[in-house]
Amino acid sequence: MIGSLFTPFLFQSAAQAITPILLAALAGVLCGRVGVFNLALEGQMLAGAFAAIVGSFLAHSALVGVAAAMAGAAAFSLILAYGATVFRGDPVVIGIGMNLLASGLTAYLLRVVFGVSGTFSDPGVVGLGRIAIPALAGVPVLGWAFARQSAITWAAWALTALIGVVLYLTPVGLRLRGVGEQPEAAGALGVDVARYRIVTVLVAGALTGLAGAQLSLGAVSVFAEDMSAGRGWIAVVAVMLGRNNPLYAAAACVLFGFADAIGVNLQSRGLPNQLTDAAPYVATLLALVVSHRRRSRFSQRSRKPAPTAGEAAAAHRRGGSGRKA
Amino acid sequence: MPEIAAAGIVKRYGGLVANDGVTLSAERGEIHGVMGENGAGKTTLMNILFGMQAPDAGEIRLRGAAVRFRSQIDAMAAGLGMVHQSFKLFGSLTAWENIVYGAEPRRGPFVDRRAARARVAGLAARHRLAVDPDARVGDLSVGVRQRIEILKALHRDARILILDEPTAVLTPPERDALFEVLKSLAAEGRTVLLVTHKLHEATAITDRVTILRDGRTVATLRTADTGAAEIVRAMTGRSVNLEVRKRPRAPGVPLLRAIDVTIASPSGRPAVDRVSLTVRGGEIVGIAGVAGNGQSELVEALVGLRKPDHGRVELCGRDVTDADVPARRAAGLAYIPEDRAAVGSAPSASAADNLAMGFHRAPPLARGLFVDPAAFAAWALALIRRYAIRIANERVAVGTLSGGNLQKIVVARELAHEAPALIAEQPTRGLDVGATETIHERLVAERDSGRAVLLVSAELGEILALSDRVLVMFEGRILADLPQERADEQSVGLLMAGRGTEPG
Ligand SMILES: Nc1ncnc2c1ncn2[C@@H]1O[C@H](COP(=O)(O)OP(=O)(O)OP(=O)(O)O)[C@@H](O)[C@H]1O
Ligand SMILES: [Mg+2]
């Protein structure tokens, strides 16, 4: 029974489920790195999904749809970008507001633009094609997962690598990491903290747009109210589990993607869907508990806030010198 | 022509004039001391020189040319570097990342890690600033962090280096190493501006000192022809008695005891190893030792911030080993913590609130369920006056106070408890000579009125001057328990290094 679960189909549907979560998580990681905790991923994704449908419907082009999604979500992210910097708002409050706004606004626009409510699909909407790579077809696991996926799925993984490289190997990445950790110190060294934050949040917004486009133009070409369906929240959890590291966050997304795919699979075997839909959330909770227990063991020694000179002196005295064990 | 000169600098904060027409001028290759009482305006002046604050009036000249810095970035570009009282580092980044941050060597679109590491290693070797480029800064000691701050300035090729009380947080060997570095920087033709309160440091290392009082320059003295007493007189406008006078002691009953206290440490060797000590009413017991030999763990156990793995703590004859901090305070313990900003005070709260903490639940500061703001203010003003705290009014947030004045707030509050037992950890760190004298007098007065005082200090001179008995801690153990008559600089110094045995 367990063995028969891990079919090529499972890997394919997992890869598909991972894509939007991963893109949103990457966006969350970038924002987290510059010190803007992004809770708006769910709403940003939804805005992107809607913009994608509109673009594709009007231009009869998936590419235009994707471009519209990225631009639309980035524009929507202006609220967070300026709200959390220039206007000094609390990113948590702004994020929650944006999620409510996205949900209401897309439902409203659905009615205004398309004259329908609930869901919208139309032959005029061009979905994303699936890329088949024959050379991969024979390879187990990887071949199964990437057999027929949209370009966005490929892009998500390429972006994961790219963001890793930018964060850890380039001057911009170094500065980003510093801005999030000690904005004051970064500013003192000539880095324009507000500008770094604004640009990063907007770029992250474009990534959530890509995630939204995958939702509405990826597997099926349809927009449904609240179709992000909690994926943004799962991405938030992935960001926290991955502690703003793109690779760890991606690993968390893989876990959630598989939980999702397994849930779907079990459903096809007759388990009630209310139960199976919960699979990714159960995985999320388990992951949170496990990581919390690991971290709280850690934090015994690092309970105090950011090290001050005095704290460092204490650390020095405690450990003699050099690294703490 | 002076390398850097300031003339007529004025800076006001509301009604308070922090700098009131300050002049200062330092030559190329000079180590120039800046001294003055707490709140005299030293940090303010340094921040202005470094472009962090704009002066309300006055002029800064670099090698003769007038400059106007809009921010510290301009100042850095003009060849200035500053090591602040609290460091500005990224804890999760490595040493080399911190040093090159914002001025990274590049190869194509990437940070040239190899060049960056080589640059850092090269600067570190040339200036004998021992730093492992790949260490995570969050794991490093204060001494190493300070070296990283200096390397940050040198990486940007600073010709003028400003250090604000750099030695306050250093152990004596670290301080000596820093002074060697500063001397070699000056020998290379760089200019060092050094803010310090310690007379022996000023006389040992500076070429000249500029002395500020109440925001004005009162003197610039050539150190070689100046005695410590003259510097003190210039700073305070009076002569300060650096000797402590005490009545003969009359020890009473034991008020604070540690019995066989052991505290494990992650490194395996216990941080505190079967320590027993007794402090009686009417005596000051000093714990001497190089920082890092278990003193702060021991104090944490005595105060209730940490549970010992073994052993007991007694306060006024009661076993308080399992009591938490409030319970111990209620049982008669006052505590002046080493870290005044993080442990000792709430920086964004007002002076009145900070001074009332711990007294706010009972009359006269509380009335029924409510606190009494008028009583808070009266209480705060009384303490501010008694300790000569330099502050505009009692509603000011203590985070804006000068370092020494914040320390006075904490000391004033803790002594006001009049608790039978007092633990004072580095009570005069960052304080000027006058304030140090005041606090020494207070501690002696506590003793004379029959209280038990446990003094932990990295300043051996302070320990020797105040203590009736001196305990020397080394590697978690108490090596010696010397009466004041037998404790002198040499014997205690040897014991602090783990050498020598208790004579007799
Ligand atoms: N941002 C600020 N707002 C209000 N008052 C301030 C501010 N910064 C400094 N002051 C006041 O200006 C005066 C001078 O402070 P400054 O920090 O320059 O003193 P200092 O000489 O460095 O003292 P210390 O030796 O205690 O560090 C103090 O009375 C301080 O309270
Ligand atoms: Mg100062």
Residue range A200-213, pLDDT digits in tens: 999 999 999 999 99
Residue % of chain B over a pLDDT of 70: 98
Answer whether B103 sits within 8 Å of A189, measured CB to CB: yes
Compute CA B498 distance to the chain's CA centroid, rounded to the nearest angstrom.
25
* Model confidence pLDDT, tens digit, residues A303-317: 333 333 333 333 333
Sorting pLDDT into bands at 50, 70 and 90, what band is B241?
A: low
- Does the structure show a pLDDT above 90 at A322? no
Question: Judging by beta carbons within 10 Å of its beta carbon (0-12, 13-18, 19+), is residue B218 exposed, middle or buried?
Answer: middle
Residue A324 reports pLDDT greater than 80:
no
Span B377-391, mean pLDDT? 87
Single-letter residue type at A286: L
Q: State residue A314's pLDDT score.
A: 36
In the reported structure, the alpha carbon of residue B389 is separated from the centroid of ligand 2 by a whole-number distance in angstroms of 14
Give the range with max mean pLDDT: A46-60, B189-203, B289-303: A46-60
Q: Residue ranges of the alpha helices (H) in A90-228?
A: 91-109, 142-145, 151-169, 171-181, 183-188, 193-217
Mean pLDDT throughout A190-195? 93
pLDDT of res. B281: 92
B285 Cα to the center of ligand 2, angstroms:
30
Q: Read out DSSP for B427-471?
A: TTTT--HHHHHHHHHHHHHHHHTT-EEEEE-S-HHHHHHH-SEEE
Q: What pLDDT does residue A316 have?
A: 38
Q: Is the pLDDT confidence value at B163 over 50?
A: yes
- A–B interface: beta-carbon pairs under 8 A: 128
pLDDT of residue B500: 61
pLDDT tens-digit readout, B472-496: 998 899 999 999 888 888 888 888 8
pLDDT at position B138: 87
The pLDDT of residue B220: 94
Quote the pLDDT of residue B126. Answer: 92
pLDDT value of residue B240: 66
Mean pLDDT across the stretch A245-267? 90
Residues A315 and A309: beta-carbon distance below 8 Å: no
Whole-model pTM: value is: 0.81
Q: Any idea which of A313-317, B48-52, B98-102 has the lowest mean pLDDT?
A: A313-317
pLDDT at B73 over 60: yes
Q: With a cut of 90, say whether residue A283 has pLDDT above it.
A: no
- Return the number of other C-beta atoms located less than 10 Å from residue B189's C-beta: 11
> Looking at residue B252, what is its pLDDT?
85
Given this model, what pLDDT does residue B429 score? 84
Contact A181 B90 (CB under 8 A): yes
Structure tokens at A113: 């633009």
Tell me the chain B residues in contact with residue A186 when contact means C-beta distances shorter than 8 Å.
90, 101-102
pLDDT, residue A215, reads: 95
Q: Does domain A2-303 have CATH number 3.40.50?
A: no
Tokens standing for B383?
A: 């303490």
Residue A296 has pLDDT above 60, yes or no: no
Q: Is the pLDDT of residue B268 over 80?
A: no
Q: Cβ of B141 and A175 within 8 Å?
A: no
C-alpha angle B483-B487-B491 in degrees, rounded to nearest 5? 140
Q: How far is CA B102 from the centre of its chain?
A: 29
Give the minimum alpha-carbon distance from B164 to chain A in angstroms, rounded to a whole number: 13
Contacts of B292 in chain A (CB under 8 A): 316-318, 320-321
SS3 (DSSP) at B221: strand
Mean local confidence (pLDDT), B75-88: 91
pLDDT recorded at residue B96: 96
Q: Please check whether residue A297 touches B, CB under 8 A.
A: no
Classify residue B466 as exposed, middle or buried by CB count within 10 Å of its CB (0-12, 13-18, 19+): buried
Report residue B230's pLDDT band, with 50, 70 and 90 as the boundaries: confident
pLDDT of residue A299: 42
Q: A91-113: b or e for each residue (b if 16 or more CB lie within 10 Å)?
A: beebbebbbebbbebbeeebeee
Per-chain mean pLDDT for chain A: 85
CB contact (8 A) between residue B111 and residue A322: no
The listed range with the strongest mean pLDDT (A269-273, B38-42, B160-164) is: B160-164
pLDDT at B139 over 60: yes
**Closest ligand to the CA of B405:** 1
- State how far residue B87 is from chain A, nearest Cα, in angstroms: 7
- CA–centroid distance, B402 to ligand 1, in Å, is 4
Q: Band of the pLDDT at B392, cuts 50, 70, 90?
A: confident
pLDDT at A165 > cutoff 60: yes
A191 and chain B in contact, CB less than 8 A: yes
Counting every residue written for chain A, the total comes to 325
Q: Peptide bond before B364: cis, by omega within 30 degrees of 0?
A: yes
Q: Confidence band (pLDDT; 50, 70, 90) for A3?
A: low
State the average pLDDT over residues B269-298: 90
Lowest mean pLDDT among A35-44, A47-56, B256-265, B456-465: B456-465
Rounded to the nearest integer, the mean pLDDT of chain B is 89
